[in-house]
Chain A
Amino acid sequence: MSDLRELYQEVILDHTKRPRNFGPLEEATGRANGANPLCGDVIAVYLEVVGDTVKNIRFAGAGCAISTASASLMTETLKGKTIEEAQVIFDCFHDTVTSSPDTEVDLAGLGKLAVLAGVREFPMRVKCASLAWHTMRAALDGENDTVTTE
């Protein structure tokens, strides 16, 4: 039960109910679509990159609490970061959610994103948490195909 509370923390529920940076971005310089065919979640991530900085980032789509909160928290975290910093955060986040529950992770380094570390206990939900991130990376790389979690 404590695991469930860990997964559905207040912060996550708050971002699910009131997603930040939600909706298309007119000035986008890059965008990508992501899909989780298993559960039908779909997401679009919009980026406005100026120089080497993510000036703005927004997302749209429909998904479960975990994927929506992860996308919302991602946009908050990455806004204003350099592409290189975004890359580092991506790696750190990805390593955390895919790590085995009994390994130590650097939660401090994740900042606000640390609330998503609880998905490690729920292997079936890791893809929900990582969908937005893979989509963001595709948008950075200028890939046009829809990213899928499969």
Chain B
Amino acid sequence: MKQLDIDLVRKDFPILGRRVHEKPLIYLDNAATSQKPTAVIDALRDYYTQSNANIHRGVHLLSEEATAAYENVREISRDFLGASESREIVFVRGTTEAINLVAQAYARPRLQAGDEILISHMEHHSNIVPWQILCQQTGALLRVAPITDEGELDIAGFEQLLGPKTKFVSLVHVSNALGTINPVKSLVAKAKAQGVPVLLDGAQAAPHIAIDVQDIDCDFYTLSGHKVYGPTGIGVLYGRESLLEEMEPYQGGGEMILSVSFEKTTYNKIPHKFEAGTPNIAGTVGLGAALQYVNLMGIDSIAAHEHELLTYATEQVQQVPGIKIIGTAREKAGVLSFVLDGVHPHDVGTILDQEGIAVRTGHHCAQPVMDRFGIPATTRASFAVYNTRAEIDRLMAALDRVRDIFS
């Protein structure tokens, strides 16, 4: 594993040169969305200045180039996720759309009243609400596996809920609110032992840990391009080929059909069956550049750097009087959520912003997590490859200032 030169890495991200309230920007809101390297920005520009055309339809050169670029990213994504076939890669807007797709096109026709869908207490709203909608549509019931005070999944609780009525399991791989890395391989094995298909929400995992869907043996896996250094509006759904084949289309329109007449329409093959309409071609090209950028640095090198930052930041934050870290799982990715006695996270966020430090404050689209810990909100610092120890030192100084103002 190679050691990254973070000063060099930072040069790849033009936005890091900007100032915020006359201070150098310190961007610690990476779990919301990451910044974009020049490689991605250039890929978008090159696509629009050189190859822009609609795909899979024209006979002209630009269409051919655009189609090749688009399909090439399918191959890059397949490799990134460790899938065996590129037709198992469906392009979507992001994790949210991927989960909705699976809920509607896979689960909905297979569920009956009284069947159960099992999720956990640490899910992002996007892995709760699509299932609630599905429950309303089918009469199925949502079951929620508990989490511990440390923010780890309660495995025994999960096993208890995984029963004969469970027809689908959908779990987050890495929690955005707590940073917890779930032991997905063994969780999937437990579900598989009962013949239950599993979706993993990899929105927060993709930027931070190596993923191998074949090794994990999950049936569906999702990622959002914008959290892994790519553009917004593009993401990936991996689906096991046999399941994708069985599924109904998600949306109807162009691209997802082979032939259309008023009497009979034949759907296209997978994955195109799930990609109705003109897709986000430029975004897909940008996603390809982002994944290649990650590959170039090495996901293990990125993970090692972020882990070091997390360890350092955790040590430092623990020394601040009145601070409590929310989410202290043994296995964690680069997320540090905390509450400060007597100061609402919103006020923390405003004061840090004045110091040029961008953090997220609020419920992080995971209100049940907040309820579980009996708090309305947290302040969350989340790390990416370009963050440094010096930035964490400045975060600590800014937290001193918060305490000073509220003392």
Contacts and interface: CB of A to CB of B under 8 A. Distances in A.
Contacts of B344: 63-65
Nearest to A38: B362
B347 A4 contact: no
A73 interface: no
A39 B367 CA distance: 10
A8 B351 CA distance: 10
Contacts of A62: 376
Interface of B is mostly: helix
B350 interface: yes
A97 to B, nearest CB: 15
A41 B376 contact: yes
Interface string B264-286: 00000000000000000000000
Given A39-B362, A40-B367, A124 B377 contact: no
B365 to A, nearest CB: 11
A125 interface: yes
Interface in A1-51: 1, 3-5, 7-8, 13, 17, 38-42
B406 A4 contact: no
Contacts of A17: 342
B346 interface: yes
B396 interface: no
Contacts of B405: 4-5, 8, 13
Contacts of B376: 39-42, 62
A125 B351 CA distance: 12
B73 to A, nearest CB: 34
11 contacts: A8-B351, A8-B405, A38-B362, A39-B363, A39-B377, A40-B367, A40-B376, A42-B376, A62-B376, A64-B345, A128-B346
Nearest to B361: A39
Contacts of A7: 350
Contacts of B343: 65
Nearest to B342: A17
Contact of A3 (B342, B345, B354): B354
Contacts of A65: 343-344, 346-347, 406
Contact of A40 (B342, B351, B370, B406): B370
Interface of B: 342-347, 350-351, 354, 361-363, 367, 370, 376-377, 405-406
Nearest to B351: A4
Nearest to B405: A8
Chain B CB within 10 Å, residue with most, of A39, A62, A128 = A39
Q: What are the 9 tightest A-B residue pairs by CB atom distance, in nearest-first order?
A: A64-B344, A64-B346, A40-B376, A65-B347, A39-B346, A8-B405, A64-B347, A39-B362, A40-B377
Contacts, number: 50
A66 interface: yes
How large, as a class, is the contact surface on chain A? 20 to 34
Interface string A56-73: 000000111110000000
Contacts of B362: 38-40
Nearest to A125: B350
B363 to A, nearest CB: 5
Contacts of B342: 17
Chain A CB within 10 Å, residue with most, of B345, B346, B354 = B346
Given A8-B406, A122-B350, 8 more contacts: A4-B405, A38-B362, A40-B363, A41-B346, A42-B376, A64-B345, A65-B344, A65-B347
B310 to A, nearest CB: 25
A22 to B, nearest CB: 15
A78 B370 CA distance: 34
A122 B345 CA distance: 15
A63 to B, nearest CB: 7
Contact of A125 (B346, B363, B367, B406): B346
B406 A13 contact: yes
Contacts of A41: 346, 376
A42 B367 CA distance: 14
A34 B177 CA distance: 25
A7 B346 CA distance: 13
Given A40-B363, A63-B344, A65-B343, A124 B350 contact: yes
A1 B354 contact: yes
A12 to B, nearest CB: 10
A139 to B, nearest CB: 22
Contacts of A42: 376
Contacts of A122: 350
Contacts of A63: 344
Chain B CB within 10 Å, residue with most, of A5, A62, A64, A124 = A64
Nearest to A40: B376
B387 to A, nearest CB: 23
A1 B398 CA distance: 12
Nearest to B363: A40
Contacts of A5: 405
Chain B CB within 10 Å, residue with most, of A4, A17, A38, A62 = A4
Interface string A62-104: 1111100000000000000000000000000000000000000
